[in-house]
Amino acid sequence: MTMRLISAVLGLCAALAIWMLGAGSAAAQTQSWVQIEARPSLAQAEDRARTYAAQLPDVTGYRLSSGWYAIALGPYAPLVAEAQLARLRALGAIPSDSFIADGRGFGAQFWPVGGAIAPVAPPPLPEQPGVTETAFPPTGETLAEARAAERALSDQDRRDVQSALQWAGFYNSTIDGLFGAGTRRSIAAWQAAQGVEPTGVLTTAQRVALIGAFNEARESLGLQLVADGEAGIEINLPTKLVAFDGYEAPFARYAPVNDSGVQVLLISQAGDIDSLASLYEVIQTLEIVPTEGPRRLNRRSFTIEGRDDETLTYITAELADGAIKGFALVWPVADLDRRALAFGAMQSSFRSLGGGALPDTAGTPAAQRPDLISGLRVRQPVLTRSGVWADSVGTVLTAGADLAACGRVTVGEDIEARVAAVDEATGAVVLQPRMRLAPLRVARLAPVPPRLRSEIAVSGFSYGGLLGAPTMTYGTLTDIRSLEGDNRLDLLSISALPGDAGGPVLGASGDLVGLLLPAPDASARALPPDVRYAVDAQALAAFLSEAGFSSLLAPEAAPAVAPEDLVIAAADMTVLVSCWE
């Protein structure tokens, strides 16, 4: 299901809620919300609310009595809220631990900014997969006749109705064939989503449409129980969409069939609590795991959910009997209805076949490359730069105005940062991490420029993060002006690599005499490869002051240090900067 269709369904439910609230019945007067997240700070909550509001309607936010801030959808009539919760959880559009809230703990509203959501006119009914305007022909079947037809159903027929409701995202209980209060509420919620009277009893036409769509989806998946003896796992798999592709510890890989876009990994390895935690961290670096989504690591299990515009990924694993077993399901967001069915079948059927696990040597790696883990591609940044720690809480000074166009910027070990200031004239950039840090060493800006022809050194991550530490590249200060006469830029003679850009240019004392800029655009003017520019220390001091940051300018010139001490100091103050899509 597309985000447009999700929004349409939510819009319909919102309209129904407004209509029901205005109808005057006692039940309809109660308001309910779907609470999807809570954050400890207002800034974090506003950021998450803004993200949800870009994809979903009816996003609201309230301060809780605990001091945290809740992000919710609503308000709705209770029946509509239950339909919203079930449907959106099945589609993966909201966290799996979302729940119904009655609003009694809600305090001041912080989102939308400016007040409550204004009622809107009911939108036109959206088209539903497998349900059209003619799906429920006017058979003249009364409620009493519908009840009579329901009583004639076999036990298996009733189970099929519950399974179909579960697939559609409206039922989240035991498939037992018993139509209790929970099943009745689920039927009514499904009927409300279809735009028909929510009686809680299916007419014959409605039952045929619901189960028909369910059977069609189930047939298209080819669900089969697969027992993988090597991995020690039994699970239902959508065999029309994936096929076994090989082992590469700790995974048994099932690759897409006919460009389905679906992937399955069976996770199997011997291990302990520490191994589980390590696997949890490593898996999140894979390209198949989008960065946005909830993650939870417990003592003996973990779950990871990730979603972007194209992919929804769910990963779970548990430690038992000395083995870590689990599965990963990667699914295109354009096909979320079938995902709900496949995911439910996989989750309910998953079983470990004893404590055995794939050995570490399982499979023959097709390629030994640093950008692959167990044959799966590791998420790589669009570009990497270097930077320098600018204060004791982790502010970073780097270079390259193009960083502002990155979807995400990280410093060091994948720590999220934001672009706080850009000097358009020189290309210097200030980054602020999302969390407080404690750098080993903070740079000092040299109070006076070095002598012409003196030796300088650039500390940078020349090869991105491959080496895990910065390298030192040595060169010469050619001029304290650019070739065009700009006295904010120094002219260097140095053979630096792209990853060195943004790194500190150091004099013999270890003070920062400049910040290396990216190589000039060759399409505008081709310069010799060893000609580079650096923003000089005085220009950096002025930029930091104008941007509201503390100046790093040293009070007086420092004496020269031994070369080995300069290397240590440079490594402590230099930080990796990564730009991600």
pLDDT grade for 51, boundaries at 50, 70 and 90: confident
For the CA atoms of the chain, what is the radius of gyration? Answer: 30
Could you tell me which of 398, 457, 459, 400 has the C-alpha nearest to residue 431? 398
- What mean pLDDT do residues 357-380 have? 67
Contact 80, 13 (CB under 8 A): yes
What is the rounded distance in angstroms from the CA atom of residue 477 to the CA atom of residue 457? 10
- Kindly report which listed range (1-10, 16-25, 134-143, 517-526) carries the lowest average pLDDT score: 16-25
What is the rounded distance in angstroms from the CA atom of residue 574 to the CA atom of residue 247? 40
Q: What is the pLDDT of residue 414?
A: 81
Per-residue pLDDT tens over the stretch 422-463: 999 999 999 999 888 889 999 999 888 888 989 999 999 998
Q: What is the pLDDT of residue 16?
A: 42
Q: What is the pLDDT of residue 545?
A: 87
- What mean pLDDT do residues 248-276 have? 93
- What mean pLDDT do residues 20-48 have? 69
SS3 419: strand
pLDDT higher than threshold 70 for residue 364: no
Residue 140 burial by Cβ neighbours in a 10 Å radius (0-12, 13-18, 19+): exposed
Annotated domain spans of the chain = 3-111, 143-188+197-215, 223-377, 383-580
Per-residue pLDDT tens over the stretch 520-578: 776 666 778 889 999 999 999 999 988 888 777 778 888 889 999 999 999 999 999 99
- What mean pLDDT do residues 23-37 have? 63
Q: What is the pLDDT of residue 216?
A: 87
The rounded percent of the chain whose pLDDT value lies above 70 is 87
- What mean pLDDT do residues 283-300 have? 89
- Could you tell me what percentage of the chain is helix, strand and coil, using 3-state DSSP and rounding each to the nearest 5? 30, 30, 40
The terminus-to-terminus CA distance of the chain in angstroms comes to 24
pLDDT grade for 218, boundaries at 50, 70 and 90: confident
Looking only at the bridges linking them, the beta strands covering 233-238 and 223-228 are: antiparallel
**Cis, bond preceding 75 (omega within 30 deg of 0):** yes
Q: What is the pLDDT of residue 138?
A: 54
SS3 156: helix
Per-residue pLDDT tens over the stretch 135-176: 455 556 888 999 999 999 999 999 999 988 887 778 878 889
- Kindly report which listed range (76-80, 382-386, 435-439) carries the lowest average pLDDT score: 76-80
Q: Residue 140: CB partners within 8 Å, gap ≥ 6? A: none
Q: What is the pLDDT of residue 135?
A: 44
- What mean pLDDT do residues 452-479 have? 90
Q: Which helix (H) or strand (E) holds 428?
A: strand 428-433
Q: What is the CATH number of domain 383-580?
A: 2.40.10.120
Q: What is the pLDDT of residue 549?
A: 85
pLDDT higher than threshold 60 for residue 493: yes
Could you tell me which of 390, 371, 383 has the C-alpha nearest to residue 575? 390
pLDDT higher than threshold 50 for residue 185: yes
Q: What is the pLDDT of residue 241?
A: 96
CATH H-level superfamily of 223-377: Mog1/PsbP, alpha/beta/alpha sandwich (3.40.1000.10)
pLDDT higher than threshold 70 for residue 180: yes
Q: Which helix (H) or strand (E) holds 167?
A: helix 155-168
Per-residue pLDDT tens over the stretch 90-120: 777 888 778 888 888 898 899 987 654 433 3
- What mean pLDDT do residues 305-326 have? 92
pLDDT higher than threshold 90 for residue 257: yes
For tokens 């672009």, name the residue.
Answer: 419
User: Angle of helix 204-221 relative to helix 155-168, nearest 10 degrees?
Assistant: 70
What is the rounded distance in angstroms from the CA atom of residue 195 to the CA atom of residue 207? 15
Q: What is the pLDDT of residue 466?
A: 79
pLDDT grade for 133, boundaries at 50, 70 and 90: very low
Q: pTM (2 decimals)? A: 0.57
Cα–Cα distances (Å) from 87 to 83, 186, 412, in that order, read 6, 11, 39
pLDDT grade for 202, boundaries at 50, 70 and 90: very high
pLDDT grade for 371, boundaries at 50, 70 and 90: low
Q: What is the pLDDT of residue 523?
A: 61
Contact 404, 417 (CB under 8 A): no
Distance of CA 410 to the CA centre of its chain: 14
Q: What is the pLDDT of residue 402?
A: 86
pLDDT grade for 6, boundaries at 50, 70 and 90: very low
Q: What is the pLDDT of residue 378?
A: 72
- CATH class assigned to 3-111: alpha beta
Contact 470, 503 (CB under 8 A): yes
pLDDT grade for 26, boundaries at 50, 70 and 90: very low
- Kindly report which listed range (235-244, 376-385, 495-504) carries the lowest average pLDDT score: 376-385
Q: What is the pLDDT of residue 117?
A: 43
The rounded percent of the chain whose pLDDT value lies above 90 is 42
SS3 458: strand
pLDDT grade for 27, boundaries at 50, 70 and 90: very low
Sheet with strand 351-352: strands edge to edge: 223-228, 233-238, 351-352
pLDDT higher than threshold 50 for residue 25: no
- DSSP code at position 378: B
Q: Supply the mean pLDDT for the chain.
A: 83
SS3 371: coil
Cα–Cα distances (Å) from 231 to 288, 349, 375, 520, in that order, read 21, 15, 17, 53
Could you tell me which of 48, 107, 298, 79 has the C-alpha nearest to residue 198? 79
Q: Choose the most confident range, by mean pLDDT, from 281-285, 401-405, 569-573.
A: 569-573
Q: Residue 408: CB partners within 8 Å, gap ≥ 6? A: 291, 416, 579, 580, 581
Decide if 223-377 and 383-580 have a common fold: no
Q: What is the number of alpha carbons within 13 Å of residue 506 lying toward its C-beta?
A: 34
